[in-house]
């Protein structure tokens, strides 16, 4: 048994009683099913004692009605989040760094969605941003993954588990009726209400994510374009690939050649990389990009990528598979100012003035894929 629970008594229980008014409807229903009912319902809950030491993640799991929510209250009350109708989701955090950090931590990596108000988000997106707001020491999360499909549940549990442990957030307890998240969340302990047992940390390694990747036509792009963090445009001459996981399309990747004369060797650069929101938080985007880089490397073709996405950019900063270029993490305002002058003077550019102004103040990560040493 986990050392957190030494001397833990599991056989003790306490009785809870709920009472409702008996009326004509309750009488008719109880009589119809030959069920004796006096308005009282009794049920027993295990006397759950909190662990004696700090931990990162605890999980209370069991079927609905087995007492999970009552046990959760032994740790804390779940925080009630208020979302303002006329403010973006990201505006509800103390600063932009916290917003980026915590929204990314729950696998919610769609920058356009960060800028939407809460009430227009999908059920899965609301689930993730609610989690992001509750992420702190001694947080309790009830009905974890109950309102989302199992792909979202696994991806979010995976991202969340990694973040809590990396940041050493203390004593976060989840309650869920789903057992399939255990290996993805990797909690320090699990209390199963069906067996009244605490199980220590001996989880199976989660199944590897095996992607099927196929070349595809640029016409596939509309399925993904609204989820790209900067633009919905795509070069019609781009080479494109589609990633499939468990029969679902999950990601889109494309590349275009660098202009002749830019570098002596033959080179390509990443053009559009998108992972659908339900599958974010599983590192699919980073692995998809590296798969493409490796395929070009085998052909002796250099592969470059630029991104303003903070999560992907920071990952590459610490990866031995990517090497920063001379333009890495530089503000793009000077380069875009030249384009802006050309547009204002009647020059022929694909971008319009609004597009240039939108991008010119961002900081861009720039890397070349070199593969593992």
- Given this chain, do its domains 50-199 and 212-369 carry the same CATH topology? no
For residues 105-134, average pLDDT: 90
pLDDT of residue 274 exceeding 90, the answer is: yes
pLDDT of residue 222 exceeding 90, the answer is: yes
pLDDT band at 167 (very low <50, low <70, confident <90, very high): very high
For residues 360-366, average pLDDT: 72
The CATH code of the domain at 212-369 is 3.40.630.30
Q: Which of 137, 153, 120 is nearest to 76 (CA)?
A: 137
Domain locations in the chain? 50-199, 212-369
Q: pTM higher than 0.85 for the full model?
A: no
First to last CA, the chain: 41
CB 198, CB 2: distance < 8 Å: yes
Query: Domain 50-199, CATH 3.65.10.10 — does that match?
Result: no
Task: Quote the CA–CA distance of 146 and 178 in Å, as a whole number.
Answer: 8
In angstroms and rounded to an integer, the radius of gyration of the C-alpha atoms of the chain is 26
Q: 344-353 long-range CB contacts below 8 Å, 24 or more apart?
A: none
Residue pointed to by tokens 């660098």: 258
Task: Quote the CA–CA distance of 357 and 318 in Å, as a whole number.
Answer: 30
Q: What share of the chain is helix, strand, coil (3-state, %, to 5)?
A: 35, 25, 45
Residue pointed to by tokens 């889109």: 252
In 55-69, which positions are buried (b, 16+ CB within 10 angstroms) versus exposed (e)?
bbbbbbbbeeebbbe
Strands (DSSP E) contained in 119-265 are 140-141, 172-176, 189-192, 197-199, 212-216, 239-245, 248-257
Task: Quote the CA–CA distance of 202 and 188 in Å, as a whole number.
Answer: 9
**Mean pLDDT computed over every residue of the chain:** 84
CB 184, CB 52: distance < 8 Å: no
For residues 207-231, average pLDDT: 89
Structure tokens at 270: 């990443």
pLDDT band at 7 (very low <50, low <70, confident <90, very high): very low
Higher pLDDT, 287 or 49: 287
pLDDT tens column, 72-91: 988 999 999 999 999 999 99
Residue 201 confidence (pLDDT): 61
For residues 94-120, average pLDDT: 90
For residues 316-329, average pLDDT: 91
Which of these ranges, 6-10, 172-176, 198-202, 223-227, has the smallest mean pLDDT? Answer: 6-10
DSSP per residue, 143-169? STTTTS-HHHHHHHHHHHHHHHHHTT-
């Amino acid at each position: 048994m986990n050392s957190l629970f030494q001397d833990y008594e599991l056989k003790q229980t306490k009785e809870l009683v709920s009472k409702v008014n008996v009326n004509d409807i309750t009488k008719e229903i109880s009589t119809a099913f030959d069920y004796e009912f006096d308005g009282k319902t009794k049920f027993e809950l295990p006397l759950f004692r909190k662990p004696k030491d700090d931990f990162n993640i605890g999980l209370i799991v069991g079927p609905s009605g087995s007492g999970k929510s009552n046990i959760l209250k032994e740790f804390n009350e779940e925080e009630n989040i208020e979302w303002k109708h006329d403010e973006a989701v990201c505006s509800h955090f103390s600063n932009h760094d916290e917003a980026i950090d915590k929204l990314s931590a729950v696998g919610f990596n769609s920058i356009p969605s960060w800028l939407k108000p809460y009430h227009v988000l999908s059920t899965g997106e609301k689930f993730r941003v609610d989690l992001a707001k509750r992420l702190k020491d001694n947080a309790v999360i009830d009905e974890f993954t109950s309102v989302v499909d199992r792909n979202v549940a696994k991806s979010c549990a995976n991202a969340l588990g990694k973040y809590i442990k990396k940041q050493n957030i203390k004593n976060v307890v989840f309650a869920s009726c789903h057992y399939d998240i255990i290996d993805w969340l990797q909690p320090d302990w699990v209390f199963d209400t069906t067996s009244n047992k605490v199980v220590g940390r001996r989880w199976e390694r989660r199944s590897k994510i095996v992607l099927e990747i196929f070349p595809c036509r640029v016409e596939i792009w509309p399925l993904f374009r609204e989820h790209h963090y900067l633009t919905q445009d795509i070069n019609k001459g781009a080479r494109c690939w589609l990633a499939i996981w468990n029969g679902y399309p999950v990601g889109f990747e494309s590349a275009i050649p660098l202009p002749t004369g830019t570098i002596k060797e033959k080179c390509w650069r990443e053009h559009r990389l998108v992972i659908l929101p339900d599958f974010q938080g599983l590192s699919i985007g980073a692995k998809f990009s590296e798969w493409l880089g490796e395929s070009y490397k085998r052909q002796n073709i250099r592969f470059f990528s630029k991104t303003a996405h903070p999560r992907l950019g920071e990952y590459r900063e610490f990866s031995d598979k990517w090497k920063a270029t001379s333009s890495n993490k530089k503000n793009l305002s000077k380069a875009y100012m030249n384009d802006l002058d050309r547009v204002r003077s009647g020059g022929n550019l694909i971008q319009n003035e609004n597009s240039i102004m939108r991008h010119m103040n961002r900081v861009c990560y720039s890397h070349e894929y070199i593969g593992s040493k």
